[in-house]
Amino acid sequence: MAHTEWRDAPELPDFSLLKRLARDQLIFLLEQLPGKKDLFIDADLMSPLDRIANVTILKQHEVDKLYKVELKPIVSSSDQLCFLIRPRIQTVKWISDLVNADKVAGRFRRYKIIFTPQKFYACETVLEEQGVYGDVTTDEWNFYILPLDDDILSLELPEFFRDNFLEGDQRWVTTAGSALHLLQSVYGSFSKVYGIGRCAKMVYESWRELMEEGEQRTRQPEFAKVFLVDRDVDFVTPLCSQVVYEGLVDDLFRIKCGSVEFGPDVTSSDKSIKVMLNSQDKVFSEIRNEHFSNVFGFLSQKAKNLQTAYDKRRGMDIQQMKAFVSDELKGLKQEHRLLSLHIGASESMMKKKTKQDFQELLKTEHSLLEGFEIRECITYIEEHINRQVSMIDSLRLLCLLSITENGLLSKDYRSLKAQYLQSYGIKHLLTFANLRQLGLLEEQQAGETLTVMESKVGKLVNDKTVGKLTDAFSSLAKKSNFRALSKRLALVPKSGEEYDLRVPRDMAYVFSGAYIPLSCKLIEQVLERDGWTGLEEVTRMLNGQEFAVTGAPNPRNKTDAQRIVLVMFLGGCTFSEISALRFLGKERDTYYVKQIEYMVNIKLSI
Amino acid sequence: MTTLEDGTGVCSKGPGNRERSSLRLQQAFITQNEADSSVTVWQSHLICLNFFKTSSQARRRPCFSLNRKIELYEMGWNLKDGLRECLVAAAPYGGPISLLKGHNRRSPSARPQLEIYSSSGLPLASFPWKSGVVKQLGWTVSDDLLCVQEDGTVLVYDLLGGFKRHFSMGNEVSQSQVLETKIFHSPYGTGVAILTGALRFTLATNIDDIKLRRLPEVPGLQGAPSCWAVLTQDRQSKVLVANGSHLFILDNTACTPVTPPGLSPQASSIVHMCVSFSYKYLALLTDSGHVWMGTSNLKEKLSEVDTKIKTPPKQMAWCRRPKSQQPSAVVMWDGLLIVVGECKETIQYHLDDDSILVPELDGVRIISGTHHELLQEVPGACEEIFKIASMAPGALLLEAHKEYEKESQKADEYLREIKEQSLLSEAVRQCVEAAGHEHEPETQKTLLRAASFGKCFLSNFPPEQFVSMCRDLRVLNAVRDYTVGIPLTHTQFKQMTVQVLIDRLVYRKLYPLAIEICRYLKTPEYQGVSRVLKHWACYKVQQKEESDEVIAKAVSVKLADAAGIFYSEIATKAYESGRTELAIKLLEFEPRSGEQVPLLLKMKKSPLALSKAIESGDTDLVYTVVMYLKNELNRGDFFMMLRNQPVALSLYKQFCKHQEQDTLKDLFNQDDDHEELGNLYVKASYKEQRLEARIALLQSAVDEYYKAKNEFSAKTTEDEMRLLRFQRKLEEEKGELLVGFSLHDTMTTLLSVGLHKHAEQLYKDFRVPDKRFWWLKLKSLAEKEDWEELEKFGKSKKSPIGYLPFVEVCIKHHNKYEAKKYVSKVTPEQKVKAHLAVGDMEGAAEAAIERRNESEISTVLSRCSATTDHLLMERLNRAKATAVKK
């Protein structure tokens, strides 16, 4: 496998440091409330917390019982309650109600709220409005980054996308800025920062402010460059079905916080098993980036190897046997267990994905990307909706259609929308409203009127201003310009050519050779050119907002650190993109560390 | 030696040099005994009592410590009556002196005059006292003047006479009036203790955070106690009261009688007491003239001395340097000052003038109408060096250096003597230390030169002590200067720290000096220069006579390159002194927009505040402004303002979503955003359990959608209402759970329970596309395995979805027989698939060959197994070949 042959990989920074920092701070905060206490944890903080500090550590610091925040009345006999929550108004309100209920009941308790990663003024306002501000103490746990794997960091903020792109709430921007600042203070400053998108720019600004306030540390940097990219720069990629193993696992079983729960059909027993998916898992690390069609072959080869390894013990003498049992057997057993799990998972994928439906789905996606046979695609989508095949997949296809075609024709839009509502209920009116807000699913109408206006205005003024106007209009209309972009950046390889998925030629392999993820292509191009020069047209089509800033000059020659690039997806990224970047890293002899807001698997409903 | 010239500055000592003459007298006295040349450097007043009683006692520790009296300044003030009939307060650490003349005069015609002077007697402020009768003056740790009035009100003035604020010591005090007051300093700040007319004590430990405490009653107290003092013990302020010969300690809860161990019995009353600077030691003076000295916890007696004077003294103070072994206190009567120590004898001074004692950390300052002197125990190092006939290494080094200057070879002899005992580093250390304790720059220089000379003969001597001493002395000499008037000793300076010294200079508005000192000592910028500049700017903006532009420009020019300046603080000051415009101008210089916001809000510049908050990108800040505006403005204005700031609006919407749903509605209403209103109603309808309410909400949504000209949504919502009613009706009739299902799900349910009629009705009423209906029906029939009905359905008319689904659905339910019925009906394009689905290889091959489609042929081929379909494969391969050729 190509992955293992790549021996020259630069040493990655030690991310466990981040975990340790977070843990120490948490312990410090818990110690601030001495004595036995019950701890309430936000549901989505459970798994991240588990990776930072397990139950034993919590117990050591006098945490008596652990509860999940369920926004329901609580049963707790403890006199001290500690809440570890995300700064959400809803949760804070729930806590206020609790406190008030206790007051009515004449019960005296001590309350402490630990907000992570930071507290928001709005939360304090709620406490104040509910009249409990004086009764609770609040604190911040600056737990920004969770290292999920050797090369993946996550902010674990599932709300980021929704808040920032849909609601226009930019409160997480500072969080992202602080996270970058943290990385910089731990791992040294970056020599170059690139970015594209409004949010990326804001994150950079907030980060820069932090840099200016704090003192600069000169330290051998462990990252060379940072690339910030907004999710809304490239909506296409997350809308496509994933066909890389890791992506498929995510699609089918949901990878949460670096671990996945395999159901009974995978484990072939009646229990579900939770498995950590990272590079520690030998089997997984070899197949995670592979196209699904290769995985099965690989697994069977692996099984054979394993068998041979087991078979070795035949004809061993006692001494050899002893060595075998002590040295190898455990590893083999472990590998065996993992292998059977992954085989189980692949089987269950096969069952679901090799069906006719999936093939057709992929075919439709590919034609949408290429812009062929749009009518057929629409018919397919219609059927898809009518048959209630999958609520999410239908939406995904609709969005993909809208983006690649720059919006749907009014007639199609209405009919498809009506069909969808008939299938899944009127509540999805709101879903559609949200999608339109995001520019994911639109009627063409708006764009057309603008073009008309554009041409009218264009007649009145000279050519130079027309360009500017067009820019303004195109950003107004939020046109996706996918077709033009795809041509410009050669995102869709020429059809008709055989694409050998076993020996990937370019990043397109993550989508069966049909499409190179736009985000990754952009990163590749910018890093190659060391800036945005020559990409003006592209950035114009992406509504601009690109930047490239040279940071601290790096005196050293090409060290390992020079080859490490941090890519930050604001609003989440998919496993396909990660795989593509890993591939790119191998090709270009650089290494990418990804930092993401959250793994998205496009899911937007009310 | 250049460092030395730089290291110490020259300080002036006031007008005249009267000191010299008295000095000579003293010197004569000394030189009578010993004619050692080293004494000539010893220029200060050196008082030695019991120095050497006999030569045999020479090596014994003297029972009396050496004291010296140094003249600090000749006072610059010109007081007619000296300090007579004045209320005087002088701040410790060489702080300012305040005088209130004729404070007892009550007639409004002759108002008392309040005057503030520096330690050197230079006037800082003077104004007539217009408030009530002042009982006591005192200084806080931050150089503010406290004036305690008879009614318990305390007025706070700054060092330059500016009124800052006032506070009261409580109702009880104002009713029973103030009898006596003491102002004290503790680690918690400056405190005030009051003895009221009702003979009760009220105490506040920190005037910046006033918590009044009323102490318990003292038993048997008939009139004012003979004396009392405030102690700080066990992190608590207590009062020690003497009533006759009885002594009590008052703390928060109790009044405890105490007895000082070994107090001589002839005393019938304690007439005076004083506590040392550190609150560790206590001295009591009895009516029999005995001074008892001991620890303030009254556990240990240090000594008792008979002064032989029985009249009550004016003042008493400890005169003791930290870590000293010897207790020593100073008692002052009219014209007489007595120093008492461990042994029976006392030292007496005559005072020409009315004086006051100011206890310090390492001595006592004596301020009279004309002079300002420091009485202190001679520091160890100075004693070692300057003691007559001293053989201490420091003394020898000084001597060696002197000989060296004279180019005498004796220098070598002295040096050798020190080196033989390998005490050279000790000698250098002594000289450096002694230099620190000297006030006269010439002496400082001599000592430092000697130290430097000694250092040359040492290889690994760490230079830090020497260097920092040179720096410290330079600073000290600068602030001791007559014009500045802060007579700090080195010990005090170290205790006080540079930070505080800078503060004090800033309070005195000596900005250039403060900045020079910061630069000289290389204090980090944000603690040093920047801080001073900020204070300067704050002062500058209060200068009313200059225009806004001039001040703003001056400030920005001066502060331009200073790090860590918060313009917002300066702007706040400007605003507080009523210069809003200037404040706004200054805020423009503030690079952190976050810092600008709170002040802008305070100044009611809310639109500007809001846009700055948004600019900062800090959502918390935006929230702060939004919440403030919400309470400040009326709703309409508030919404209007939000409307112009989309970021703020969306943030507020987020907040409303959870907290105030109704406000959200108002917001949309105001914006005429009917679309969003409609969405809001739809959303609300899903939270509603009762059907009627749900329909009502949907109706509102419909109305809004119509207003928004969104026909589509309106129609859909209307459909939904219709569907809900239909579902309810059916639920009532048939008992199937339907309400809330989507149209599709409703029809599925209906079909699955066999209510075909109703399903058809929906199909017609809601214009369900044929395709959907066919799919639905197909699925449900197959699920029920109602093959007969399915066949009928298939024949009812031409299938809009083709017949391949029929085949597939049958196969899915494992009914190959039924599936085959539909294969023939499938369109040619799908024939191959259909045949393959039912497992009819030949049929599939036939169809594929007929269509001459290469990929289809391949598909069939891949499904053939080599053993059974040998012939078929051959045919297919042939067909494929021809297809490819084509």
Under CATH, to which class is A15-143 assigned?
A: alpha beta
Type and span of the H or E element at A362 = helix A356-370
Question: Where is average pLDDT lowest: A26-35, A587-596, B634-643?
Answer: A587-596
Which of A26-35, B79-88, B770-779, B846-855 is predicted least confidently? B846-855
d(CA B375, CA B46): 10
Mean pLDDT calculated for residue range B199-210: 90
Distance of CA B627 to the CA centre of its chain: 25
Query: How many interchain CB pairs under 8 A, A with B?
Result: 113
Contact status of B744 with chain A (Cβ, < 8 Å): yes
Contact B215, B203 (CB under 8 A): yes
A15 or B274: which leads in pLDDT:
B274
pLDDT in tens, A127-162: 888 888 888 888 888 888 888 777 778 877 777 777
Alpha carbons within 13 A on the beta-carbon side of A317 = 1
- Topology agreement, domain A15-143 and domain A144-240+515-605: yes
First to last CA, chain A: 43
Contact B766 A606 (CB under 8 A): no
**For chain A, percent of residues with pLDDT exceeding 90:** 0
What is the distance of C-alpha A218 from the center of its chain?
A: 31
Contacts of B180 (CB under 8 A, 6+ apart): B135, B136, B194, B195, B224, B228
- How many Å apart are CA A545 and CA B766, to the nearest integer? 47
**Beta-sheet strands, E only, within B217-352:** 227-233, 236-243, 246-250, 255-258, 270-275, 281-286, 290-295, 301-306, 315-318, 329-333, 336-340, 346-350
**H or E element, residue A24:** helix A16-31
Paired tokens of B450: 């000697």
pLDDT of residue B447 exceeding 90, the answer is yes
C-alpha to C-alpha distance for B746 and B425, rounded to whole angstroms: 101
| H helical segments located in A371-425 | 374-386, 391-404, 410-424
Chain B residue with the nearest C-alpha to that of A162: B654
Mutation site, B595, B673, B685, B712, interface A, largest A CB count within 10 A: B712
Whether residue B719 and residue A426 make contact (CB cut-off 8 A), yes or no, is: yes
Min Cα distance B675 → chain A (Å) is 9
pLDDT tens profile B659-689: 777 777 777 777 777 888 888 888 888 777 7
Q: Which CATH class is domain A357-482?
A: mainly alpha
Q: Is A461 strand, coil or helix?
A: coil
Cβ contacts of B809 on chain A, cutoff 8 Å: none
Q: Which residues pair with A115 in a beta bridge?
A: A85, A140
Distance of CA B242 to the CA centre of its chain: 41
Radius of gyration of the CA atoms of chain A, in A: 26
pLDDT at A388 over 80: no
Q: Which of B592, B651, B686 sits opposite A427 (nearest CB)?
A: B686
Contact yes or no for A122 and B682 at CB 8 A = no
Predicted confidence band at B53 (pLDDT cuts at 50, 70, 90)? very low
Q: CB-based contact (8 Å) between B564 and chain A?
A: no
Give the residue from B185, B378, B361, B191 showing the smallest Cα distance to B277.
B361
Contact residues on chain A for B742, CB-CB shorter than 8 A: 421-426
Distances (CA, A) of B429 to A18, B380, B403, B438, B515: 49, 12, 20, 15, 30
What does the pLDDT look like over B111-140, one tens digit per residue?
A: 788 899 999 999 999 988 888 888 899 999
Q: How many of the other CB atoms lie within 10 Å of CB of B312? A: 14
For chain A, domain boundaries: 15-143, 144-240+515-605, 260-353, 357-482
* CB-based burial label for B432 (10 Å; 0-12, 13-18, 19+): buried
Give the percent of chain B with pLDDT over 70. 90
Q: What band does A258 get if pLDDT is binned at 50, 70 and 90? A: confident
Residue A443, SS3 per DSSP: strand
Which residue of A lies nearest to B743 if distances are taken between CA atoms? A422
CB A567 within 8 A of CB A227: yes
The kind and range of the H/E element at B164 are strand B163-168
The answer to whether A305 faces chain B, any CB pair under 8 Å, is no
Percent over 90 (pLDDT), chain B: 18
Nearest CA in chain A to B772: A386
pLDDT for the residue A499: 66
Largest CA distance in chain B: 144
How would you list the strands of the sheet with A37-41, edge to edge? A63-68, A37-41, A80-85, A110-115, A136-140
User: Does B739 lie at the interface with A, CB-CB under 8 angstroms?
Assistant: no
Inspect the interface and report whether the beta carbons of B771 and A383 lie closer than 8 Å: yes
Question: B771 and A386: CB-CB below 8 Å?
Answer: yes
Query: Helices (DSSP H) in B644-752: which residue ranges?
Result: 646-659, 661-671, 674-687, 691-707, 711-734, 743-752
- A90 → chain B, closest CA residue: B658
Q: What's the token pair of residue B808?
A: 């597939």
CB contact under 8 A, B719 and A126: no
pLDDT tens track for B57-94 = 333 344 455 788 888 898 888 887 778 778 899 998 98
Could you tell me the pLDDT band of residue B38, with boundaries at 50, 70 and 90? very low
CB distance B170 to B202 below 8 Å: yes
Q: What is the mean pLDDT of residues B713-740?
A: 81
Tell me the C-alpha distance between B243 and B253, whole Å: 19
A350-365 confidence digits (pLDDT tens):
777 666 677 788 888 8
Q: Which residues of B touch A125 (CB under 8 A)?
A: 623, 627, 655
Long-range pairs, B547-550, Cβ under 8 A, ≥24: B548/B579, B548/B581, B548/B582, B548/B585, B549/B585
Rounded CA-CA distance B553/B563 in Å is 18
Q: How confident is the model at residue B435 (pLDDT cuts 50, 70, 90)?
A: very high
DSSP annotation string for A267-296 = HTSSS-EEEE-STTSHHHHHHTTSBHHHHH
Q: What's the pLDDT tens digit per position in B1-23?
A: 333 333 344 444 444 333 333 33
Give the contacts of B119 (CB within 8 A, at least 6 positions apart). Answer: B72, B73, B90, B94, B95, B96, B97, B365, B372, B485, B486, B487
B117: number of Cβ within 10 Å = 22
User: pLDDT at residue B474 above 90?
Assistant: yes
What integer pLDDT is reported at residue A593 of this predicted model?
A: 56
Cβ–Cβ contacts within 10 Å for residue B827, how many? 10
Class of domain A260-353: alpha beta
pLDDT at B503 over 80: yes
With left for phi above 0 and alpha for psi between -120 and 50, is residue B165 left, alpha or beta? beta
Is the pLDDT at B358 greater than 70? The verdict is yes
> Cα–chain-centroid distance for residue A266?
25
Distance CA A575, CA A596 (A): 11
Question: What Å distances lie between residue A63 and A72, A74, A113, A140, B806, CA to CA?
Answer: 21, 17, 14, 18, 61
Annotate A536-547 with b (16+ C-beta within 10 A) or e (fewer): eebbbbbbbbbb
Kindly report the nearest CA distance between residue B623 and chain A, in angstroms: 6
pLDDT at residue number B444: 93
How much is the pLDDT for A591?
52
Average pLDDT of span B448-473: 90
Give Rg (Cα) of chain B: 49
| pLDDT score recorded for residue B16 | 39
As a residue count, chain A comes to: 606
What's the DSSP call for residue B131?
S
Among B216-225, B641-650, B839-848, whose mean pLDDT is lowest? Answer: B839-848
Q: Please name the amino acid found at residue A50.
A: D
How many other CB atoms sit within 10 Å of the CB of residue B695?
A: 18
3-state SS, A194-210, equals EEECHHHHHHHHHHHHH
Mean pLDDT across the stretch B505-525?
Answer: 88
Percentage of chain A with pLDDT > 70?
82
Give the architecture (CATH level 2) of A144-240+515-605: 3-Layer(aba) Sandwich (3.40)
pLDDT in the model for residue B104: 65
Residue B28: pLDDT band by 50, 70, 90 thresholds? Answer: very low
Residue with tokens 């009254």: B298
Q: What is the pLDDT of residue B220?
A: 84
Over residues B748-773, the mean pLDDT reads 80
Sheet holding B201-204: strands in order across?
A: B178-186, B189-196, B201-204, B212-214
- Of the pLDDT bands very low, low, confident and very high (cuts 50, 70, 90), residue B234 is confident
Q: What is the mean pLDDT of chain A?
A: 75
Which residues in chain B touch residue A86, judged by CB atoms under 8 angstroms apart?
none
What one-letter code names the amino acid at B304? E
Cα–Cα distances in angstroms (integers) from residue A446 to residues A399, A413, A439, in the given order: 17, 13, 12
Q: Is the dihedral of CA A353, A359, A361, A362 positive or negative?
A: positive
In sequence order, the 6+-apart residues with CB closer than 8 A to the CB of B842 are B872
Mean pLDDT of chain B: 80
According to DSSP, residue B730 is labeled H
User: Which CA distances in Å does B529 have to A140, B501, B502, B561?
Assistant: 33, 13, 10, 11
Predicted pLDDT of residue A353: 66
Per the model's pLDDT, the better-predicted residue between B103 and A567 turns out to be A567
